[in-house]
Amino acid sequence: MTAIRLLLVDDDPLVRAGLSFMMGGADDIEIVGEAADGAEVEALVDRTRPDVVLMDIRMPTMDGLTATERLRAREDAPQVVVLTTFHADEQVLHALRAGAAGFVLKDTPPAEIVAAVRRVAAGDPVLSPAVTRQLMRHAVGSAADTRRSRARGRLTVLNDREREVAVAVGRGLANAEIAAGLFMSVATVKTHVSRILAKLDLNNRVQIALLAYDAGLLEGEQEEH
């Protein structure tokens, strides 16, 4: 089994040391580099070719948001998981919109951070439905109407089935749950998700969820929770 190549990015050497220690105990994860600032990330990615980057948000020269945007704009970009001390920070939301695959809190138990790296490397976002809803509620503001109009315009490229799958993704459902609910195979769900990402020029399922929310397709979810 090929080890997951991991790059650590945090301006606090103690945090990096702690992450390195906890990841070092996982046989399937290899730390290929460390950076203390976002400005160092692209050169390190070129040199080390990581599968996943654990990215701090707040750093002095280049913050994690800018670094994430630059990474995700590249071909064959590594997956990015942002590190934060807040559950619903505006910068975390921006990072997710920029293409981060999810986030973990710095005080998350070590086993869960290791599991998050594995999930992201396997192509699964690291956001529970509850956290996704929390971030989405946090996004509501004075620009909500403009955002809704723009999102609805983007979603017009989807056919009815793709739209149903997009809503299900927005609800935080796994592929097997979507397949059962919409009476299709898991393989078909995966195909629809891939087409949705391509049509909307998105990076991952988290961005599908955010766009579905912006379009007002998940308002019932908000009311229920």
Residue 140 DSSP SS3: coil
3-state DSSP percent of the chain in helix, strand and coil, to 5 = 55, 15, 30
Asked if 93 contacts 114 with a C-beta cutoff of 8 angstroms, the reply is no
Q: Which two tokens stand for residue 202?
A: 């998105």
- For 223, residues 6+ apart whose C-beta sits below 8 A from its C-beta are none
Tell me: pLDDT of 113 over 80. Answer: yes
- Using the structure block, give the residue that is written with the tokens 């391509």: 198
Tokens 């994690």 -> residue: 64
Instruction: Find, among 121, 109, 52, 55, the residue nearest to 84 by Cα.
Output: 55
CA–CA dist 161, 68 (Å, integer): 31
Dihedral over Cα of 19, 20, 24, 29: its sign: positive
Per-residue pLDDT at 129 exceeds 70: no
pLDDT tens string 165-190: 999 988 878 888 999 999 999 999 99
Are 64 and 38 spatial neighbours (Cβ–Cβ below 8 Å)? yes
43 compared with 109, residue with greater pLDDT: 43
**Mean pLDDT calculated for residue range 157-161:** 95
Identify the pLDDT of residue 101. 86
Within 10 angstroms of residue 3's Cβ, the number of other Cβ atoms is 14
**Picking from 10-14, 16-20, 79-83, 216-220, which range would have the lowest pLDDT averaged per residue?**
216-220
Distance CA 125, CA 181 (A): 20
Q: What is the DSSP letter of 126?
A: B
